[in-house]
Amino acid sequence: MSTFSLSFFSLILMFFTITITAQPYNATDHFLLDCGSSTADQQWVIDERTKFVPSNFTTTSFTSTPNNQDPSVPQTPYSTARIMNTSSFTYRFPVSEGPKFLRLYFYPATYSGLTPNQSFFSVSSNGYSLLTNFSAFLTALFLAEKRSDAGGDGPPVPYFVKEFLIYVKDSQFLHVVFTPSPNSYAFINGIEIVSLPENLYVNAKEPKGVDMNTAAVINKDTALEMVYRLNMGGRQISGNDDTGMYRVWDQDDNYVSGYKGFTPTYANPITYTVETPSYTAPEPVYQTQREMGNQSDLYNLTWILPVDSGYFYMLRLHFCNIISLYTKPRQTIFTVFINNKTAEEEADLFQWTKGTGYPIYKDYVVFVNSPDGRKTKQDLWLALHPSPSFNLYMDAYLNGLEVFKMSMGRDLAAPNPELSFTTPVATPTLPAKGKKTPYIAIIGGVGGGLVLLSILVLIVLRQRRRVKHYGTADDRSSYGPAYSESKSTKSYHSTLPSDRCRRFLLTDVKAATNEFSDDCVIGHGGFGKVYKGYIDDVTTAVAIKRLNPSSSQGVYEFHTEIGLLSKLRHVQLVSLIGYCDDEGEMILVYDYMAHGTLREHLYRTSNPPLSWKTRLDICIGAAKEQVSLAEWGKLSYRKGTLNKIVDPKLRGAIAPECLRQFGIVAISCLKEQGSERPAMDEVVWGLEFALELQQAAEKTVVEVVNATDHFLLDCGSSTADQQWVIDERTKFVPSNFTTTSFTSTPNNQDPSVPQTPYSTARIMNTSSFTYRFPVSEGPKFLRLYFYPATYSGLTPNQSFFSVSSNGYSLLTNFSAFLTALFLAEKRSDAGGDGPPVPYFVKEFLIYVKDSQFLHVVFTPSPNSYAFINGIEIVSLPENLYVNAKEPKGVDMNTAAVINKDTALEMVYRLNMGGRQISGNDDTGMYRVWDQDDNYVSGYKGFTPTYANPITYTVETPSYTAPEPVYQTQREMGNQSDLYNLTWILPVDSGYFYMLRLHFCNIISLYTKPRQTIFTVFINNKTAEEEADLFQWTKGTGYPIYKDYVVFVNSPDGRKTKQDLWLALHPSPSFNLYMDAYLNGLEVFKMSMGRDLAAPNPELSFTTPVATPTLPAKGKKTPYIAIIGGVGGGLVLLSILVLIVLRQRRRVKHYGTADDRSSYGPAYSESKSTKSYHSTLPSDRCRRFLLTDVKAATNEFSDDCVIGHGGFGKVYKGYIDDVTTAVAIKRLNPSSSQGVYEFHTEIGLLSKLRHVQLVSLIGYCDDEGEMILVYDYMAHGTLREHLYRTSNPPLSWKTRLDICIGAAKEQVSLAEWGKLSYRKGTLNKIVDPKLRGAIAPECLRQFGIVAISCLKEQGSERPAMDEVVWGLEFALELQQAAEKTVVEVVPDNQEHPFLLQGEQTTTDDDIFSGSTAIRNGTSSISDSTEGFKSDTVFSEMQKKTGR
């Protein structure tokens, strides 16, 4: 055939394909019957006014309405029902011959006093038994339970639809017969019948049998029940958006098990074909998919679907390649498994279709066995995995799925579902255990300690919740229990805190305890039993507490206990490892204490008695570390430090005299003898007195702004509120508002969403709609309140619209739905607390000029709608933001100006280190100040508080920011030569941003200029070289703010989200106090040509990218685990450096040991969080994409492997256009090293830059990978030239050179410390800041403890109490020496313990790591010039990484 003929044929085929795409199916029959109704609907018809009901319908049935209809249930057809309680009742529909969908609509409610649990009935149609003794009530409960178990959103399912497919033959009538069971009744709310194409499901292409000997047939005699119809990775598709058959396609999120993969989308039209006509499935099914993401050698993509057992099922799998990377056959081949049987060996979309955008479906039939013959529910598994015989792209994907139950002998009726069903799984047995260890209830001590916690924390929180919050979530979201902080997105998992402790399956626990064998029991109590068990492949001993169902502890208390205990991490407390809540169990898993608890060694025990000295050591530890929480609270009260254990969110908000009175009440309630405790009326009197003291203190508040304009508009509401006004009762709406908009309520409002203004909305779906507010001239805050829900059947994902105001474009083609998803995703990625964000506020600042009207215009996009829940307008001081002092430009050639022509969008307003501040607690402008926890990256510093009033000035008026902003801060803590204080803030790229930084010194230690100077960096550029608060203000308690403007570049011009970095670091030119701090932050996006509208945010998914291959490599170089030496060396580093630094901080930074409690111990400062993007140190090392690493290693080719270990493999690779050789360490997912350890390792190694250490170049954390990239040492390490190696032996002279270098440079960190100890030169490796400050005898004792902790064998290492004793002894030696020094050393002596002849700083005291052999000789230098301690950990001084 000629080229012309082929081209012409292609054009014809293309035209033919497009023609089919444009024509959905036109149903020949479509009935919508509203059963029991008396009022007509546009689409639904009243059943009794048709000929479909029998002539005696008035005597064989009656109509009714639900006693109390759930507001989330649609009115039609669920507001009425037809009840049959005497005999069979038949609907008779005249239809054409062919296949028909029959849909039955059920809402099990109470009708005319008949409760839903009394209803049992059967349904048949044209000789097929569809339902037998059916209970709609039990079915609804099962559906709700299934969704809850799967982590699904929303309330229980109170209504549902049963869909069947029946072929109507020559009778051309479809009969639907309802027969109530004896002493029961039948009911139906609605019936729908719709025809479908002849060969779409019936007599279609023959399905493939799975593990079957005979072919499966679906013909005119086969009836089907639709069980699942899923849109993989996409949104729910309503019946009106189907292809003419009104099928509903649900999301698949609730059925994906384990790894969830990615959900890419396709923006181009789908090219339907003759084989796959346009009515097969709607375009959105094929334009979205769930895919594995080219890493599926580690995972399966699995869906778990509960079905009735004892039936055949037809599964229709819809495929369509939408990934541009895949372009030809044999690139992506995967296997399809159904119930663990191979259904498709090699699925290759490009063998089945013509290419990208061409859909195809495949049908499979499988039998689901009924183990006991009762046809109970069993799980139907569908799994995809790359074909093991092919792996160019290790990927697999699926776009849609339909599952139909097939009739067996004209029967489709299964029993009613059993609630809380579980299929037992075999569990392995344990090895024989040794002698049981006596054990008491583990949680006893913790539970006792929680008594005071409940009084001093929980009651305080409840008291605080009474204060009204404005513009935020319901008060519960601020102070709710820990277990409800964030919902797990993993299916079949609970909402308990998996980020802080593990969730075990019941099978895991049974395996750990040998099926809860009595031989494993080590304790009893009213709560149940405690078992000793083993987890992690029988390597870790644990104590497992299984609660008895008859115990007084219920599910709520169980969840609360986990929420509390998962936050407690303390050396004196037994740690909670995890929990199990499978199958109604309540199980807690703790660390196992081999030597038991203190109580077991004191009372009624066969354990050897503790020595007096040991008991003294424990007493010292208890007194200093407050082992018991209750005792801790009492001690804090006696020491007068109650304010230091208050919830950080309340720091600075409680008047000292009020807290003192509260403490008196709390402590009196903890008296040992009940007769000494106060009566309840005395408690009430004491708390009321505390409240009076608080109210008296609060009368001294600072003045606030009296807004000249303040409007609160409740859009779409019909009921008035004390503060919010109904929009349609004002003159703010247009005169034609009734024809250009309508009001609606959410179909199902989330209980966490405040009622006002989110319980109603104004919907605009025809044309533009303008609100017009008469205001005074000047700057105004415009706040738009959005709750993307379903309104009047309009789903939130259908809403796209634009908003403008006074000529400024604020939002364009805006999706509140996508924005809410992005905010929820961002908070989830950041480790944030609380549920997903279902509502939010967009805040803008617009200067209203002489027009003195503020117009807000909503314009729906084509075929879409706009909505708004609430509008707020509030005036603000003239020069607070607009025409304020000129901001400083960052990396800009021209000055930045914010004037009357500049519109702003508030992006972030943060209270650093403090609680959230509600709008009502602002200074009259109702601004909400959020916590900064979710945005801090890496080291989090400390969060001190200030109890005194703030002294505002003319330059910083009292309305600038509320007092709590300036009374709290996040600070580094005088150790910032090692760290930066960094915030990462995702913003729209392609705009200028104004950052307002609020400062106020609140640390009493800092009293004059030049003590604490730090540098401010914005996006890695210096914004402020030397920030000195005492140069800017009059002193402590005086606030100041500084404004900066920076441009955030858009790399691809699409204005997508980019990270805005803010970092603080002590000025390198000054270091009296190495500290930096910030109190508050406001970030505003600035209009560009009257435009503020950025694209909708892109949600996180990853599409694989092509990777180039490497040039041929030469002979592999032997290589050992690179990081081994460094990791081992860090052990001593953590003891001899970090612990010493902590000890020094207690003295130098705060003056006394007591002062340290103001800030808390370093390890418990604040919860680790991860920002929107990776928060790893890209300023010190590079972040590689996975595609880069694959290119460097030739797709992780085994030919590139140069080392192995328990962590995984090490590869030799090439980066930077194959010019630089690197060593790439890829961690195995089964390794004991997790994400946190991976991040910590990078954080440490990225700071180490030294001639003796192999440098970390970068890392990769793409797609769940944990990969480190190092300098490649061509000649290997010293170890490789000495032990078990084929390398040529080193000459004796070279070995001597290395030995000399090792003696001078301390090659291995750990060995260096040990050697220093043996040589008696520990004083030479102490932090230079401590030189001369440690008594020699104290340092010697400290060394004994540290070295003992480095013993090779664990059994040789000291127990914790021995460590405590040793350190206590060292402290006593230090204190004794200091007493002597006070008497004999002059006050001006700076280093009282400086040894004779010792230098305070020397270059040769810098630590080093494993020696690298370069060019055949040792790389140890004769000089260490340039590697002094003040530059080894340089971070921001050199602002570019490698």
- Select, from the ranges 715-719, 728-732, 742-746, the one with the highest average predicted confidence (pLDDT): 742-746
What is the structure's pLDDT at 463? 35
Residue 92, pLDDT above cutoff 70 = yes
**Of 634-648, 944-958, 962-976, the least confident:** 634-648
The neighbour count for residue 1359, using CB atoms within 10 Å, is 10
What is the structure's pLDDT at 1379? 73
610: confidence class by pLDDT, cuts 50, 70, 90: low
Query: Tokens 């986990």 correspond to what residue?
Result: 562
550: confidence class by pLDDT, cuts 50, 70, 90: low
Residue 231, pLDDT above cutoff 70 = yes
Average pLDDT over residues 1147-1151: 31
**Of 86-90, 125-129, 1067-1071, the least confident:** 1067-1071
Residue 309 DSSP one-character state: S
Residue 1295, pLDDT above cutoff 80 = no
- The token pair that represents 1208 in the structure block: 């995984």
1249: confidence class by pLDDT, cuts 50, 70, 90: low
What is the structure's pLDDT at 634? 73
What is the structure's pLDDT at 431? 31
User: At 7, which amino acid appears?
Assistant: S
Higher pLDDT, 496 or 827: 827
Residue 376, pLDDT above cutoff 90 = no
In percent, how much of the chain has pLDDT > 90? 40
Residue 1404, pLDDT above cutoff 90 = no
What is the structure's pLDDT at 1149? 32
- Report strand pairing: 778-786 vs 866-868: unpaired
Q: How many residues does the chain have?
A: 1442
899: confidence class by pLDDT, cuts 50, 70, 90: very high
CA 799 to chain centre: 26
- The token pair that represents 495 in the structure block: 């909402």
1208: confidence class by pLDDT, cuts 50, 70, 90: confident
What is the structure's pLDDT at 831? 56
1350: confidence class by pLDDT, cuts 50, 70, 90: confident
Average pLDDT over residues 979-984: 86
* Residues contacting residue 1245 through CB under 8 Å, at least 6 positions apart: 1123, 1126, 1256, 1268
- The token pair that represents 951 in the structure block: 């002294």
Average pLDDT over residues 265-291: 95
In the beta sheet, which residues pair with residue 1329? none
**What sign has the CA pseudo-torsion 110, 114, 120, 123?**
negative
Average pLDDT over residues 205-214: 88
Residue 1388, pLDDT above cutoff 50 = no
User: Residue 1008 in contact with residue 1083, Cβ under 8 Å?
Assistant: no
- Select, from the ranges 169-173, 414-418, 643-647, 879-883, the one with the highest average predicted confidence (pLDDT): 879-883
Residue 985, pLDDT above cutoff 90 = yes
Higher pLDDT, 318 or 1413: 318
**Of 506-510, 734-738, 1147-1151, 1269-1273, the least confident:** 1147-1151
**Of 348-352, 907-911, 1215-1219, the least confident:** 1215-1219
Which segments are annotated as binding site for ATP?
A: 545, 1225
In percent, how much of the chain has pLDDT > 70? 68
State pLDDT tens for residues 839-851.
Answer: 999 999 999 987 6
1129: confidence class by pLDDT, cuts 50, 70, 90: very low
Residue 1233, pLDDT above cutoff 90 = no
Average pLDDT over residues 1342-1362: 74
Higher pLDDT, 266 or 564: 266
**Cα–Cα distance for residue pair 1120/1133, rounded to 1 Å:** 22
State pLDDT tens for residues 848-868.
Answer: 987 689 999 999 998 899 999
Which segments are annotated as binding site?
A: 545, 1225
Average pLDDT over residues 1350-1361: 69
Average pLDDT over residues 875-891: 90
Q: What pTM was computed for the model?
A: 0.39
Residue 69, pLDDT above cutoff 60 = yes
- Report strand pairing: 576-580 vs 502-503: parallel
Average pLDDT over residues 1230-1246: 64
**Cα–Cα distance for residue pair 690/696, rounded to 1 Å:** 10
User: At 1106, which amino acid appears?
Assistant: A
Higher pLDDT, 1009 or 1118: 1009
Residue 1097 DSSP one-character state: P
The neighbour count for residue 66, using CB atoms within 10 Å, is 20
Residue 1110, pLDDT above cutoff 80 = no
874: confidence class by pLDDT, cuts 50, 70, 90: very high
**Cα–Cα distance for residue pair 654/974, rounded to 1 Å:** 27
**Of 804-808, 1175-1179, 1303-1307, 1312-1316, the least confident:** 1303-1307
What is the structure's pLDDT at 496? 47
Counting other chains too, the contacts that 1145-1154 makes at CB distance below 8 Å and 24 or more residues apart are: 1145/973, 1145/974, 1145/975, 1148/974, 1148/1329, 1149/973, 1149/974, 1149/1005, 1149/1073, 1150/1005, 1151/1005, 1154/639, 1154/641
Q: Is the peptide bond before 1039 cis (omega within 30 degrees of 0)?
A: no
State pLDDT tens for residues 801-838.
Answer: 999 999 999 999 999 998 998 888 777 665 555 445 68
Task: Name the strand (E) or helix (H) holding 1304.
Answer: helix 1292-1305
Residue 534 to residues 425, 502, 596, 722, 1234, Cα–Cα distance (Å): 18, 15, 17, 60, 20
Average pLDDT over residues 1326-1334: 69
**Of 15-19, 799-803, 843-847, 902-906, the least confident:** 15-19
Residue 603, pLDDT above cutoff 50 = yes
Residue 368, pLDDT above cutoff 90 = yes
What is the structure's pLDDT at 1431? 26
**Of 192-196, 443-447, 498-502, 914-918, the least confident:** 443-447
Residue 1175, pLDDT above cutoff 70 = no
Average pLDDT over residues 74-87: 93
What is the structure's pLDDT at 690? 74
Residue 760, pLDDT above cutoff 80 = yes
Residue 1065 DSSP one-character state: E
What b/e string do you get for 399-436 counting C-beta neighbours within 10 Å, with b at 16 or more?
A: bbbbbbbbbeeeebbbbbbeeeeeeeeebeebeeeeee
Average pLDDT over residues 500-529: 86
What is the structure's pLDDT at 222? 94
What is the structure's pLDDT at 825? 77
Question: Whole-number mean pLDDT of the chain?
Answer: 76
What is the structure's pLDDT at 224? 96
State pLDDT tens for residues 1052-1108.
Answer: 787 888 999 999 988 866 667 888 999 999 999 999 989 999 988 876 533 232 222
Cβ-based burial of 29 (10 A; exposed 0-12, middle 13-18, buried ≥19): middle
